[in-house]
Structure 1
Amino acid sequence: MYRVWNFVTNYSLLLIIGAILALIWANTNPQTYHDFVEFVIVDDFFIGHLHDDGHGHVVRTLTLHYLVNDVLMAFFFAIAAKEVWEAIILKEGSLRGKKAATPLVATFGGMAGPIAVYLGMAYFLGSDTYDAVAKGWAIPTATDIAFSYLVGRLVFGASHPAVRFLLLLAIADDAAGLIILAIFYPSGELAPEWLLISVAAAVGVYVLFNWLPRRMDRGNEARPRSTWVRNKLSWWPYLIAGAISWYGFQEAGIHPALGLLPIVPTLPHADRAFGIFSEAETHLKDLLNHTEHLLAHPVEVVLFFFGLLNAGVEFSSIGSPTWLVLAGLLIGKPLGVLLMGWLAAGPMKLGLPEGMRTVDLFVIGCVAAIGFTVSLFVASVAFSPDDMLGNVPVQDAAKMGALFSFFAAVVSIIAGKVTRVQKQD
C-alpha cells in the first residue's frame, strides 16, 4: 500500500493542492487570477499560441498557460505513454494476449458509455446546449489512473482480481485518450507534413543511440559501445530529439503536449515490467525506467502548476456542461463497463479473471469514473475560454465537472457495499 500512496503523493497530491489554490484564488480575486494564467513570457516567439497581433500578422505568444499546458505537460504524457508502451510491447505486457481481452472490451464500453450519455443528454436539453457542448464529448471518457487505482484497492482490497482488471482498463483508457487528443483535438490548422520532422527525430535517435551501438556490440558480452553511450550521453540525445519532435507537433497543428510520444519507444528498455505500482519497478535500471525516475519530481511540480492554471473556476460557472460531464462519468462509465464487460465475458466467451463476479464490473466502472487530471486537460483543449452557453463559460463549467468527478470515489465505496464486494487484502 505504501507504493500506491507514494505514487499518488508523487503524481497527484501537488496537483490537488494547485487545484484547491486555484479555486480559492479564482473565487476571491478572479481578475488577478486570470492575469496570472495569461501572463505573457515572450511575445512574437517561435513557440506559443497563435493569434493576430492587431496589424494583420499571425504571431505566437508564449504565455504561462501555454508553457505549462503545451510544453511541460508533455513530460506527464510521456510517463503515461511509457506505461502504455511497456504494456503493449513486452512479451509479458499487461495489454497483450487473452488476459487483456475482456478489460480491453470493457474499456471500449467505458468510453462509448460516457460519450453516449453526454451527447444524448445534451441533445435532450436542446439544440443550443448540444451545439455549445458537443466538442467536449471526450471529457468524460478519461480515467485518472492513480486515484482510480487507490480507490479500487480501498473498495476491493489489494489482492482482489478486480484491482488488476481496473489497472488494465485504466492503462488502455490512457492509450485511447492519447489517440483521441491527437486526432480529434488539434491545436491549430493541420499541417501533417511537419510530422515528418517528428518521425525523423524518432528514427534518428533510435538508430544512432540505441540500435547501432547494440549492433556494433554483437558477440561482445562487455557491450563497450552501448555502455559508453549510456554512461556518457545518457538521456540527452532523446531530450534533443524530443524537443525536435515537440516542435514538429506544434507546427503540424497537433496538440504539442503529445510531442514526446514518438520518442518514448526509442529509449532502451528492460525486457520486463513489474507494473506501475510495483516496488520492484524502482529497481529497473534501463534508460527508459531511469528517465521516468528522473522525471518523477519535476512532473510533480508541473502538475501543481497545471492544477493552479486550469482549475481556477468560479462557482458561478457551474451549469449544464458540469452536469453533463458528471453524468457521462458517473452514469455512462459504470454502465458501459458493465455492458461491454458482460458481453466479453459471456457471449464472446472471453471470461473474467477467477474470483471476479459480473457485478464487480459495475463497481469497477464507478471507480474508473474518477476523471480528474485527463478530464481537466481535455476540457481545456476542447473549448475556448470564449465559448458561452447563455451566461455560462462552457470551458469553466466543464472543468468543474471534471473536478467534481472525485465524488465517484464515494459512489464506488457505496456501490461496493451494496453489491457485497468481498475485500481481499
Structure 2
Amino acid sequence: MYRVWTFLTNYSLLLIIGAVIALVWANIDAEGYHHFVEFVIWDHAPIGHYHHGHRTLTLHYLVNDVLMALFFAIAAKEVWEAVILKNGSLRGKKAATPLFATAGGMFGPIAVYLGLAALLGSDTYNAVANGWAIPTATDIAFSYLVGRLVFGAGHPAVRFLLLLAIADDAVGLIILAVFYPSGELAPVWLLFSFGAALLVYVLFNWLPRTLDRGNQARPNSTWVRKKLHFLPYLVGGCASWYGFMMSGLHPALGLLPIVPTIPHADRAFGIFSGAEAYLTDLLNQIEHALKHPVEVILFFFGLLNAGVEFSSIGDATWLVLAGLLVGKPVGILIFGWVAAVPLRLGIPQGMRIVDLVVIGCVAAIGFTVSLFVASVAFDAGPVQDAAKMGALFSFAAALVSFAAGKVFKVEKQSV
C-alpha cells in the first residue's frame, strides 16, 4: 500500500482524482457542487474574500489562497536552489539553452493565444485577453512523468525538460505576482512581508552562524535548530502571507519571501533527485515533511477548481489548447534552435534539435498552474469555466508527446 501511495503522490495523481470527481459532480449536480465550493467556513473573518466591508473565509479561499501557498513555496524552493546553490541547475552555460527554450515556451503560447483571439474578433479578444498567461504554464510533475515515459529515464532530454520546467515556474511566479493581483494594491504591506522575512533570517539564521564563527561545535546554531526547529519560519511565513493578502498580491505567493531565509544545503542535486532524501538541512527537511500534505492539498485544489460543466466549452477552451499544443512546441523549437545553433550555446550531448519539438509537446501539459491562473485571470463565469476546460484538456499533450516521439524516432534511454 505504501508503494501505491508513494506513486500516487510522487506524480500528483491525487490531483487528477480530485479533478475527475469535480468534473463528474459538476455535470451531475452543478448547484450542489458550487454550493460545496463556496461553503462559508467563517463570516466576518480576519482573512478571506473582502466584500461588503468584511472578509469571508470560504472553502475555496482556504484551499486556493491559503493552503496552495505551501505548493508554491515548494516550487519556489526548487527555483531558489537551482539559481543560488553550487551546481544549481539554472547556473552557468549549461542552463543557457534551456532558458532560451523557456522564453520560447512563454512567447509562443502568448502569441498563438492572443493572435487567434484577435482573429475571432474584438468582442472575443476583449473577453479572453486577460487569460494570456494560462497557456504559458508547465506542470513539472506530470511533464516529468510523461518525459520519462517518452524519452526514458536516462535520456538527456529529461534533464533539459526539468530545467525548462523549473525556469518556467520561476517566470510563472513573477507573472502571477505582477499581472494578477487579488485586489487593490497596497504596496506598503509588502514591507511587512519582507520585513518579517528579513527579521527571521537575521535572528535565526545569520546571527547564530555569526556567533559560531570559528567554533566547530556551533553551539548557537545547534540550539536554534534543536529547540526551535521550523517554528520561527512558521511564524515568519504566517506574517509574510498576511502581508501579501493585505498588499493585494495573490496570497498564494505569500511564503515566497520566507523560502530564501531558511538554512539550506550547500549544493543542489536537482528536482526529484533521490540524493535529496538524505540531506539534513532545514529547507529540505521542511520540503520532505510537506510533500504528502501538499499532495492532499492538490487533491482538494482539483476538487474545488476543476468542476466545469462540459457545456462551458467555448472560445477560451480552444485558445488555451492552441497556445499549449501549438505555441509551446513551436516556441521551444525556435528559441532552442536559435540558442543552440546561431548563438552556438549547444544542446546536451545525446540530444538532437528535433527532440526540442517532443520536449515542447511534453511541456504543453499545463494542468495545475494553468488551472490556477485560469481561476485568477477571470471572474467566475462562462469564460473562466471555458478556460479551465482548456487547462484540463491539456492532458491531451501527453498523447501528442507519445505520437511525436514515434514520428521523430526518439530512442528511449534507461538510466
Coarse TM-score class (shorter-chain normalised): over 0.9
- TM-superposed CA distance for 1:162, in Å, is 0.8
- TM-superposed CA distance for 1:80, in Å, is 0.3
- TM-superposed CA distance for 1:60, in Å, is 1.1
- Inter-partner Cα distance in structure 2 for 1:4 and 1:216: 46
Runs of 4+ in 1 over 6 A off after TM superposition: 2-5
Partner of 2:204: 209
The 5-angstrom pairing of residues 241-320 of structure 1 reads 241-320=236-315
Contact 1:3–1:278 at 8 Å: present in 2 too?
no
- Inter-partner Cα distance in structure 2 for 1:196 and 1:11: 37
Contact 1:326–1:401 at 8 Å: present in 2 too?
yes
- Inter-partner Cα distance in structure 1 for 2:259 and 2:138: 21
- TM-superposed CA distance for 1:300, in Å, is 1.5
2:395 is paired with a residue whose SS is helix
Q: Match of 1:181, as an amino acid? A: L
Is 11-20 or 404-413 further displaced after alignment?
A: 11-20
Q: Match of 1:16, as an amino acid? A: I
1:61 is paired with a residue whose SS is strand
- Inter-partner Cα distance in structure 2 for 1:356 and 1:153: 14
1:416 has 2:405 as partner: yes
Unpaired segments ≥5 residues, structure 1: 53-57, 387-392
- Inter-partner Cα distance in structure 2 for 1:420 and 1:231: 54
Unpaired segments ≥5 residues, structure 2: none
Q: 1:287 to 1:62 in 2, by over 3 A?
A: same
1:211 is paired with a residue whose SS is helix
- Inter-partner Cα distance in structure 2 for 1:8 and 1:416: 25
Contact 1:11–1:303 at 8 Å: present in 2 too?
no
Partner of 1:394: 383
Q: Match of 2:275, as an amino acid? A: A
Q: Match of 2:378, as an amino acid? A: F
- Inter-partner Cα distance in structure 1 for 2:178 and 2:264: 28
- TM-superposed CA distance for 1:274, in Å, is 1.4
Partner of 2:223: 228
- Inter-partner Cα distance in structure 2 for 1:107 and 1:5: 32
Contact 2:173–2:253 at 8 Å: present in 1 too?
yes
Partner of 2:169: 174
Partner of 2:116: 121
Partner of 1:51: 51
- Per-residue displacement from partner, 1:42-92 (whole Å, max 9, x unpaired)? 11222111112xxxxx21111110010000000000000000000000021
Number of aligned positions between the proteins: 413
- Per-residue displacement from partner, 1:251-296 (whole Å, max 9, x unpaired)? 1100000000000000000101212211111110100000001111
TM-score by length of 2: 0.98
Question: What CA RMSD, in Å, does the superposition of the two structures yield over aligned residues?
Answer: 1.4
Percent identical residues: 78
Partner of 1:19: 19
Q: 1:176 to 1:4 in 2, by over 3 A?
A: farther
Q: Match of 1:271, as an amino acid? A: D
- Inter-partner Cα distance in structure 2 for 1:215 and 1:296: 32
Q: Match of 1:30, as an amino acid? A: A
Contact 1:379–1:398 at 8 Å: present in 2 too?
yes
Is 10-19 or 145-154 further displaced after alignment?
A: 10-19
